[in-house]
Chain A
């Protein structure tokens, strides 16, 4: 069975500052994928960033980057230069060979002006 744990139900950050969201996971598969999704109030799921487990290099997408620690089964998301539009629910997700996604419980991020 796959599990994803997000230990921070809520976080807040000041505009322009940096924030890190935590995620740990567990899986018995050797080939898997990790994702961070953003769900704004519209509830549309938006892919923020993805990481293939076989890649050692941490994924980066503009202001978003991850710290992927495979041995520790940790996959944190760093948001730099936080913007008001970053306010949303963030879900960490794990996908395996069957492409099913297992989601964490989410972290509600609020960016304050």
Chain B
């Protein structure tokens, strides 16, 4: 299957700072990328959908100014958590769709964010 690489795997940042998470499709062109948030022992909640070259579409209740998403190329999308606070601590997962298997989305390994 296709490979999606997410970086970093884990990050600790101070409250008030910003942190950027990268999601790369390594062997296919990702026409659409999705960003999810997962709290401990809970399911994945879709935060936003991004298409290359256009603005991201955010799900209801997700602050677009806090979670900045950029999808500048067909292989890279970034999620920036701005002015992070402890309540932003969570597991963030990206997935990417595109290439020959258009109906299937491939997941990155996730990023554990801890804000102290």
Contacts and interface: CB of A to CB of B under 8 A. Distances in A.
Interface of A: 33, 37, 42-45, 47, 50, 52, 91, 95, 98-106
Interface of B: 1, 32, 34, 38, 42-46, 49, 91, 93, 95, 97, 102-105, 107, 109-110
A43 to B, nearest CB: 5
A19 B76 CA distance: 39
Contacts of A42: 109
A101 B105 contact: yes
A42 B42 CA distance: 15
Contacts of A33: 103
A67 B109 CA distance: 29
Q: Is the interface of B mostly helix, strand, loop or mixed?
A: strand
B59 to A, nearest CB: 9
20 contacts: A37-B107, A43-B38, A43-B93, A44-B109, A44-B110, A45-B93, A45-B95, A52-B103, A95-B103, A99-B32, A99-B102, A99-B103, A101-B46, A101-B95, A101-B105, A103-B43, A103-B44, A103-B45, A105-B42, A106-B42
A47 B1 contact: yes
Given A33-B103, A99-B103, 11 more contacts: A43-B110, A45-B44, A45-B93, A45-B107, A47-B104, A91-B43, A95-B105, A98-B49, A101-B95, A102-B46, A103-B45
